[in-house]
């Protein structure tokens, strides 16, 4: 059975200083913590600290396995308040968790756009554009979660003033188009080319039978950036196929109740229960699998940095391709018995039975043959 590859303290000490970086030093200088866990039960209630530079409060979430690809942070805007204006030489995607408000975006050329948002709104900040967030309520705080590619950018330049203070517009990214943040977009296969989604919880999805369980899926290209995100949904009493991919996926539960299993190859799965607001961060190349054990459809949003996507020669993510042909997705027919046993037990606790027979049957029609095992001679 595979292990976690733990070594002696003597060897670990030799590499300890390499865990420090310009990025981690910057977060500490901001007076904020980094949550290194790959599971946060509820982003809406996670503890925050005052963030003087932004004028709100926040916490960073950056599992050690993803610390050099992208990060995640939760920020709160006080009731009747606003965050300080900011520009940044890195990309950022935002999901509103609670509250209503607005955001103003502008560049040095004088172009400016404002838009309003509420719970479930999803949008991206154009590269190096000035922006400022406002809380529209005088009674309640507004809270959002964001993912950025700040870690590799700050680690590369090691210059905070350069990253946050460079005067340069990227007009091909943002030129003040009046409809830049309009809730519309062009659908290209599974990809929705848009800069704003008003309600990610109820956004119509596209069938994605390749991921199993009759679920829906949609992918986003926002603000012409290199980061990406996607939403997946699957019916009650069903579950997605297990798969693995590179680091940096921050999976945020939008609706439904259930659990996820995560494990490095060769080890027993570890269970993490979730509901709306839960964050799951699968470590690099750990298999993981999501199960809907509730009475409503389950939906999640995944923030990720595209540069760590592992694809085949046709451009298809290997996480969508059967392990039988060299991909990183486990077919239902090949999953460990504990997967179905655990699911059946979880459903029984709420008086439900699995609705997976149709998914198992549909898979058989396209299931690749198992590769022949090499016989030692």
More confident residue, 46 or 12: 46
- Residue 14 within a domain: no
171: in domain: no
Pairing of strands 142-148, 71-77: antiparallel
- Mean pLDDT over 86-113 rounds to 97
CA distance 235 to 364: 20
H helices of 312-352, in order, are: 337-348
54-60: average pLDDT:
97
Phi, psi of 36, rounded to the nearest 5 degrees = -95, 0
Mean pLDDT, residues 339-352 taken together: 96
Looking at the fold, whether 64 and 117 belong to one and the same domain comes out as yes
Say whether both 156 and 208 belong to one domain.
no
CA distance 225 to 128: 11
Find the domain containing 350 and state its range: 186-363
Nearest alpha carbon to residue 201 among 233, 172, 174, 171: 233
Could you tell me whether strands 227-234 and 216-221 are parallel, antiparallel, or unpaired per DSSP bridges?
antiparallel
Cα 188 to Cα 87: distance, rounded to the nearest angstrom: 30
Q: Tell me if 300 sits within 8 A of 232, measured CB to CB.
A: yes
Decide: 67 and 86 in contact? Cβ < 8 Å. Answer: no
| 203 and 66 share one domain | no
Banded model confidence at residue 2, pLDDT cuts 50, 70, 90: very low
Based on the fold, state whether residues 111 and 200 are members of the same structural domain.
no
Here the tokens at position 222 are 């926002």
Residue 348 falls inside a structural domain: yes
Question: Is residue 115 one of the residues assigned to a domain?
Answer: yes
Domain boundary among 164, 194, 216: 164
Q: Would 176 be classed as within a structural domain? A: no
Collapse the DSSP code of 300 into the 3-class scheme (helix H, G, I; strand E, B; otherwise coil) and give the result. Answer: strand
> Which DSSP category does 198 fall into?
S
State whether the Cα torsion 132-135-141-146 is positive or negative: negative
- Contact in structure between 76 and 56 (CB atoms under 8 Å): yes
Res. 19 pLDDT band, cuts 50 70 90: confident
**What percent of the chain lies above the pLDDT cut of 70?**
94
Co-location of 225 and 120 in the same domain: no
Question: Is residue 64 predicted with pLDDT exceeding 70?
Answer: no
If asked whether residues 103 and 33 sit together in one domain, one would say yes
Q: Are residues 126 and 216 in the same domain?
A: no
Place of tokens 């396209």: 366
Residue 304 vs residue 107, higher pLDDT: 107
Report the pLDDT value the prediction gives residue 246, as an integer from 0 to 100. 85
Last residue of a domain, one of 164, 197, 216: 164
Q: How many of the other CB atoms lie within 10 Å of CB of 212?
A: 24
For 232-269, the pLDDT digits (tens) are: 999 999 999 999 988 888 999 999 999 999 999 999 99
Q: What share of the chain is helix, strand, coil (3-state, %, to 5)?
A: 20, 30, 50
Q: What is the pLDDT of residue 308?
A: 60
pLDDT of residue 309: 65
Q: Answer whether residue 327 shows pLDDT above 90.
A: yes
The mean predicted confidence, pLDDT, of the chain is 91
CB of 30 closer than 8 Å to CB of 263: no
**Contact, 80 vs 135, CB < 8 A?**
yes
* pLDDT for position 156: 95
Q: Is residue 5 part of a domain?
A: no
- For residue range 156-213, list pLDDT tens digits in order: 999 999 999 999 999 999 999 999 999 988 888 888 999 999 999 999 999 877 777 7
Q: Measuring CA to CA, how many Å separate 125 from each of 7, 293, 320, 363?
A: 41, 35, 29, 40
Report how many domains make up the chain. 2
Q: Is residue 47 part of a domain?
A: yes
Q: Are residues 146 and 191 in the same domain?
A: no
Q: Are residues 160 and 192 in the same domain?
A: no
Question: Residue 366's pLDDT band (boundaries 50, 70, 90)?
Answer: confident
Same domain, 197 and 305: yes
- Interior angle at CA 111, CA 78 and CA 54, nearest 5: 25
- Domain check: are 336 and 268 in the same one? yes
CA 264, distance to chain mean position in Å, is 19
Q: In this structure, are residues 234 and 210 in contact, taking their beta carbons and an 8 Å threshold?
A: no
Last residue of one domain, picked from the residues 130, 164, 198:
164
- The stretch 41-47 carries a mean pLDDT of 97
Report the pLDDT value the prediction gives residue 46, as an integer from 0 to 100. 97
Q: Is residue 3 part of a domain?
A: no
CATH of the domain at 158: 2.60.120.10
Please compute the mean of the pLDDT values over residues 21-38 and round it to a whole number. 94
Split at pLDDT 50, 70, 90, the class of 14 is: confident
Tell me what pLDDT residue 375 has.
Answer: 45
In this structure, are 134 and 260 located in the same domain? no
């Amino acid at each position: 059975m595979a292990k976690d590859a733990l070594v002696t303290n003597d060897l670990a000490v030799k590499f300890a200083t390499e865990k420090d970086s310009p990025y981690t030093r910057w977060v500490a200088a901001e007076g904020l913590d980094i949550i290194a866990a790959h599971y946060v039960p509820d982003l809406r209630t996670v503890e925050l600290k005052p963030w003087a530079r932004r004028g709100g409060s926040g916490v960073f979430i950056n599992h050690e396995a993803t610390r050099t690809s992208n990060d995640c942070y939760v920020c709160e805007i006080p009731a009747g308040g606003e965050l300080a204006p900011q520009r940044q030489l890195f990309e950022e995607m935002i999901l509103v968790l609670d509250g209503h408000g607005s955001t103003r975006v502008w560049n040095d050329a004088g172009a400016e756009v404002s838009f309003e948002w509420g719970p479930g709104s999803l949008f991206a900040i154009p590269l190096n554009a000035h922006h400022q967030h406002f809380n529209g309520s005088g009674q309640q705080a507004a809270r959002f979660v964001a993912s950025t590619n700040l870690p590799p950018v700050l680690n590369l330049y090691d210059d905070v003033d350069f990253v946050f203070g460079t005067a340069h517009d990227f007009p091909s990214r943002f030129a003040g188009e009046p409809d830049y943040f309009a809730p519309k977009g062009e659908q290209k296969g599974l990809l929705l080319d848009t800069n704003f989604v008003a309600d990610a919880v109820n956004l119509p999805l596209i069938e994605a039978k390749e991921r199993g369980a009759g679920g829906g899926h949609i992918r986003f290209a926002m603000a012409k950036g290199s980061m990406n995100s996607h939403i997946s949904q699957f019916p009650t009493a069903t579950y997605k196929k297990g798969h693995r991919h590179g680091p940096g996926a921050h999976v945020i539960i939008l609706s439904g109740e259930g659990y996820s299993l995560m494990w490095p190859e060769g080890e027993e799965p570890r269970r993490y229960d979730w509901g709306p607001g839960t964050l799951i961060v699968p470590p690099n190349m750990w298999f993981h699998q999501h199960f809907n054990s509730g009475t409503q459809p389950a939906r999640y949003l995944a923030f990720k940095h595209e540069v760590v996507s592992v694809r085949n020669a046709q451009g298809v993510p290997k996480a969508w391709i059967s392990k039988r042909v060299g991909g990183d997705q486990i077919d239902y027919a090949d999953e460990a018995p504990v997967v179905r046993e655990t699911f059946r037990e979880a459903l029984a606790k709420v008086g439900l039975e699995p609705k997976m027979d149709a998914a198992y049957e549909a898979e058989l029609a396209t299931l690749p043959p198992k590769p022949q095992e090499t016989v030692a001679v």
